[in-house]
Structure 1
Amino acid sequence: MTEDRPAVRTEADGDVWRITLDRPESGNALTPAMATELAAAFGEIPEHTRVVLLLAEGPRFCVGGDVRSFADADDPSAFVGQLAHDWHEVIRAVLHCPVPVVAGVQGAVAGAGVGLMGACDLVICARTTKIRPAYGAIGFSPDGGTSWALARALGAPRALDLMLTNGALTAAEAHLTGLVARLVEDDELRATTEQVAREIAAGPVRAMVRTRALVRRAATRTLEEQLDDEAQLIAESAADPEGREGVRAFVEKRAPDFRNAR
């Protein structure tokens, strides 16, 4: 890879904002440049965007941090700590993205790549994908939200088993536990992910963002707290042009046009 080649590509395709990790020769390993460029990509989402589509070039989605750069650092603690800080800004950008985030993952997902995948709203996974935290193999503890994503999907005992034994999940296991939403054949990944992104873009994206907030908070809220939140957010949805369009379309027995609901 040349020094001036971007690590991340972006493209507006209608109302889909496509972000592509583009260091395939390194397995899209995380570097300071990639963290900076990925944060910028989420910060530059065009106003008309209705969904973000996160993809990766090459046979591997993201193998985690660039371990060679850790070894070459004069001060590994400072270097890794700063990289984790920068990467966490990326994870926050994904979590708080103003529109839904759909990801297509393939090949290998390891280390910080697991946290990135776990922060997305809907993950479509190629059948031969392997997911491995891998931190224990180099004597590190997790970062990038990896411990959060795994504990949330697997529960603490299974997440610890995976991380303490340097284990791996198959795509089928990740799907069964809910770490990924859909499982498809490898050669169908790109087309399926694109199709799902367009389906979501045609829907009520502001209601989807409210739904995302409810689902994420559900695990740490009581039912009483969740009911209060649901009442508030459904009222906001009813007042939103999307909600008004959806109700009108139902009454008029036609397909809703959420894209033009203002």
Structure 2
Amino acid sequence: MSQSIQLEINNGIAQITLNRPQVFNSFNKEMAFAMQDALDRCKQGDVRAVMITGSGKAFCAGQDIQEITDPEKNPGFEAILDDHYNPIVTRIRDLEKPVVAAVNGVAAGAGANIALCCDVVIATKSAAFIQAFSKIGLIPDSAGTYFLPKLIGFGKASAVMMLADKITATEADQMGMIYKAVEDDEFSAFAKAVTEKLSKLPTIALANTKKALNESMSNTVEQQLALESKLQIQSANTADYEEGVAAFMEKRKPEFKGQ
């Protein structure tokens, strides 16, 4: 795997670290494909939860501008979106495991929107989110125009995107953009604790919850009720459901196996 993406798997947790700190973890072609490979690896059964974070001071500054301004290396926007970013977002949403974005610093452009498409977003209070696209004459991509309005509302999302405001992690927490902003000295331990907790919960039930949330974006109430019924039946036919009920009846802590 490329050095631009680090993947560590321990005790059911996969940690993906964006690792181009010298350019604030901005994406180039190599890094984008390495990220896709890392997410594909997380499909395997020994992974029950995923955490994505950045090395150095930033989470991700979006696209590497040097790449798109180099006549010899510029892949073109069609490839950047269709081959680089869109497959990353799709993989995160389709992955049948919870994905935590541990935003350790600035998340700008595509970096912000990749974070916001994750299941749980935690940020240090010193971090910030910037929809930087309008500053260089572009529109938000990487599903930003899809997820952000659903997180914070149409009007707020429109203003944030058009004005390219710098949104602090505390502001993002207050407006419902992220799950929680955490003091910097507590951030690493908190993000790891959340990911570890998710890794020990019933994996199939979490995957089905994710499927239901994905479908809810476009379903009618009737369609969603039918989907909930289908997924609930699937969840009830798992060993983890049996363990959860047994633990409740026996007044003990359940030991879920992700089965």
TM-score in terms of structure 1 length:
0.92
1:142 deviates by: 1.8
Give structure 1 regions of 4+ aligned residues with deviation exceeding 6 angstroms: none
1:5 deviates by: 6.2
Question: Which residue of structure 2 aligns with residue 97 of structure 1?
Answer: 95
1:74 deviates by: 5.1
Offset from partner CA, 1:171-203 (integer Å, 9 cap, x none): 122112222111100121111111111111111
- Is 1:181 the counterpart of 2:176? The answer is no
Does the CA-based 8 Å contact 1:73-1:79 persist in structure 2? no
Structure 1 pair 130/165, CA: closer, same or farther in 2 (3 Å)? same
Question: Which residue of structure 2 aligns with residue 143 of structure 1?
Answer: 141
Question: Which residue of structure 1 aligns with residue 210 of structure 2?
Answer: 212
Does the CA-based 8 Å contact 2:2-2:34 persist in structure 1? no
Does the CA-based 8 Å contact 1:118-1:145 persist in structure 2? no
1:75 deviates by: 8.8
Offset from partner CA, 1:53-100 (integer Å, 9 cap, x none): 111101110011011221113596x52221112211111111111211
1:167 deviates by: 1.6
Question: Which residue of structure 2 aligns with residue 251 of structure 1?
Answer: 249
Offset from partner CA, 1:146-181 (integer Å, 9 cap, x none): 221211212222111111122221212211222211
Does the CA-based 8 Å contact 1:19-1:52 persist in structure 2? yes
User: For residues 157 and 207 of structure 1, what CA distance do their matches in structure 2 show?
Assistant: 34
TM-score in terms of structure 2 length:
0.93
Amino acid aligned to 2:127: T
User: For residues 53 and 30 of structure 2, what CA distance do their matches in structure 1 show?
Assistant: 17
User: For residues 131 and 71 of structure 2, what CA distance do their matches in structure 1 show?
Assistant: 22
% identical aligned pairs: 29
Please give the residue correspondences for 1:215-230 in structure 2 after superposition, counting only pairs within 5 Å.
215-230=213-228
Secondary structure, aligned partner of 1:123? strand
Secondary structure, aligned partner of 1:221? coil
Could you tell me which of 161, 164, 167 is aligned with 1:163? Answer: 161
Offset from partner CA, 1:194-214 (integer Å, 9 cap, x none): 111111111111101111222
Could you tell me which of 10, 13, 28 is aligned with 1:13? Answer: 10
User: For residues 247 and 220 of structure 2, what CA distance do their matches in structure 1 show?
Assistant: 35
Please give the residue correspondences for 1:123-134 in structure 2 after superposition, counting only pairs within 5 Å.
123-134=121-132
User: For residues 73 and 187 of structure 2, what CA distance do their matches in structure 1 show?
Assistant: 40
Question: Which residue of structure 1 aligns with residue 197 of structure 2?
Answer: 199
Amino acid aligned to 2:41: E
Does the CA-based 8 Å contact 2:96-2:210 persist in structure 1? no
Amino acid aligned to 1:253: K
User: For residues 182 and 19 of structure 1, what CA distance do their matches in structure 2 show?
Assistant: 20
Does the CA-based 8 Å contact 2:15-2:53 persist in structure 1? yes
Does the CA-based 8 Å contact 1:127-1:185 persist in structure 2? yes
Runs of 5+ consecutive residues of structure 1 not aligned to the other structure: none
Amino acid aligned to 1:130: A
Secondary structure, aligned partner of 1:258? coil
User: For residues 75 and 201 of structure 1, what CA distance do their matches in structure 2 show?
Assistant: 40
Could you tell me which of 64, 68, 71 is aligned with 2:69? Answer: 71
Question: Which residue of structure 2 aligns with residue 84 of structure 1?
Answer: 81
User: For residues 257 and 245 of structure 1, what CA distance do their matches in structure 2 show?
Assistant: 7
1:254 deviates by: 1.8
User: For residues 232 and 176 of structure 1, what CA distance do their matches in structure 2 show?
Assistant: 35
